[in-house]
Structure formats: C-alpha cells, structure tokens
Amino acid sequence: MDNLIDIKGVTHAYKTPNGPLPVLDDLNLTVPEGEFAAVVGPSGCGKSTLTRLVAGLMKPDRGEVWLHGELVKSPRKTVGMAFQNPVMLEWRTILQNVILPLEIVAPSMPSADRKARAMELLSLVGLEGFENKRPSELSGGMRQRASLCRAIVHKPDVLIMDEPFGALDAFTREDLWQTMHQLRANEPFTAVLITHDLRESVYLGDQVIVLSGRPATTQFVLDVGYPGEGLRQLDGLYTPQCAEMLATLRDQIRIAQGRQPGPAVH
C-alpha cells in the first residue's frame, strides 16, 4: 500500500515575544492510503500544529510533508477538514453548506449533480429531511454530521479532523463514531483524527500515533487489531483485547507527560 501522507523529519517552532517555542521535533509519520490514523498526545504537545502542516496552512521550519507523492507547499484543496465547533454559514441551508466545497473545487459540476452528491451523504448520516433547515435549527450532533458530509463531499485525498466529537455528549459521540465507520464503508478515505479520547482512537483508528510531550515527536505507534469482522461494533471496546490496547496507550500518555506508567490492567 502506498503512503498517502509522509511526514519526514518535521521540526517547527512558533515565534513568540519570549523567543521561539519549539513545538515539533524531527517528527516522522506515515499514513498509508485508505488508513485511519488517530493521533493522541499530551495537551499542548503540537497535535493541531501537525494538522495545519498536513493541510498546507503552515510550512515547517525543517523537514517535509508529502501528500499523494507531492510536496506540500501551500494550502491544499484536496484536504477536507472538520473541527470541534463546526463553522456553518447561517445564511445557507444545511444542503447549501454541504455543497460549498464543490462550488470551490468543482465549479463546472452541474448544480443537479452537486445537489445529488450532497444529498447522498446527508441521507447516509441520517439527515435526509433536514437539508433545508438552517444550521441553528439543528442539534450539535446533527451539525457535526453535516460538517462531516461537507468535509468529504468533494472526495478529498485526506480528511483531517481536530477533536470533531469533543464537544458532544457521550451518547451522541458514540453515534457519530458509528456514522464515521458507515461513511468509510461507503466510500473509503484516508483520515487523520486528533483526539483526547483513547477509546475513540481505538474504535476509529487503524493506527494510533502517540506524540511525546512538546516539542513533539512520534513516541509510539499502536497497530489496532480491533476484535471482530466487518463494521466495528461498540461492544468490541469491552473485550480484553481492547482493554489491553487502552492500557498500553494510557501508559504511553503517562510517559509522554513525564510520569511513571500505571499498574497493569487485567
């Protein structure tokens, strides 16, 4: 499998009034095409910075970011993004919000095709019938569903998500995890998910990348062998196999925070 994302020796420091703040240090990371990478690490270690570099919104001081065999030098249209608080345009309907990336990336696409593509995704995530509502008429979970549709409507090379489920209640979050799997089953894509939730990282990720404390480097990579076949089931999170993966990740986070690993979980 080819690597869709290849991050090679990336080092970056922000310029601040108190001098440079080193954030990433010789970070290497690869995500094969079609894989879902979850990135976890201590608060403030540089996770969001990493997403900005992959999207081409910033350039690293040193090192290279490659997407689909091309060196990233500027913002990429072929990246889809979703954040904790979806930014929706209130003067547009949900359907018009979802269509927006197509207007930018595929201006010559007939409007009936744009609409059909957006409706296909909206019905997949259970929002059929809400397409003519305004964003403020939807719940937070519904808005996030619509925002995921908008992030992949133009079939981006990679979907980057920065804590997209962080502001949702636990039940809605688990619903959205399942929606994420349905979207991938329908139309496989490569994804990078930043999260603070280790269960989420194991439920959604094919690999979980643990970043060290700032300046961050890749400290540990867990290959997730999720129990069961086909679409992942939430019950799988309560198996000994998942408990062990979660214990490993918890230990790695403690190490990244400069603390002692915890006692073994049985």
Ligand X SMILES: Nc1ncnc2c1ncn2[C@@H]1O[C@H](COP(=O)(O)OP(=O)(O)OP(=O)(O)O)[C@@H](O)[C@H]1O
When the beta carbons of 127 and 253 are compared against ligand X, the nearer one is: 253
The binder of ligand X chosen from 10, 23, 40, 242 (CB under 6 A): 23
Q: Is 14 in the site for ligand X (CB under 6 A)?
A: yes
Nearer to ligand X, 46 or 86 (CB): 46
How far is Cα 259 from Cα 83, in angstroms, rounded to an integer? 30
Site string for ligand X, 43-82 (x = CB under 6 A): xxxxxxx---------------------------------
> Minimum distance from CB of 193 to ligand X (Å)?
12
The answer to whether residue 98 forms part of the interface with ligand X (CB under 6 A) is no
Q: What angle do CA 228, 230, 31 make, to 5 degrees?
A: 95
CA quadruple 240, 244, 250, 251: dihedral, nearest 10: 150
- What is the DSSP-derived secondary structure letter of residue 107? T
| Span from 16-24, 107-115, 232-240, 256-264 in contact with ligand X (CB under 6 A) | 16-24
From 42-50, 101-109, 126-134, 219-227, give the range in contact with ligand X by CB under 6 A: 42-50
Residue 220 Cβ vs ligand X, minimum distance, rounded to whole Å:
16
- Beta strands, E only, the chain: 3-16, 19-32, 36-40, 62-67, 70-71, 79-83, 158-162, 190-194, 207-211, 218-223
Q: Which residues contact 240 (CB under 8 A, 6 or more apart)?
A: none
One-character DSSP codes across 43-97? TTSSHHHHHHHHTTSS--SEEEEEETTEE--S--TTEEEEESS----TTS-HHHH
CB-nearer residue toward ligand X: 43 or 108:
43
**243 part of the interface to ligand X, by CB under 6 A:** no
Output 49 or 93, the one with its CB closest to ligand X. Answer: 49
The residue behind tokens 């001098």 is 19
Please state the closest distance from residue 87 (CB atom) to ligand X, in A: 17
Q: Residue numbers of the site for ligand X (CB under 6 A)?
A: 14, 16, 21, 23, 41, 43-49
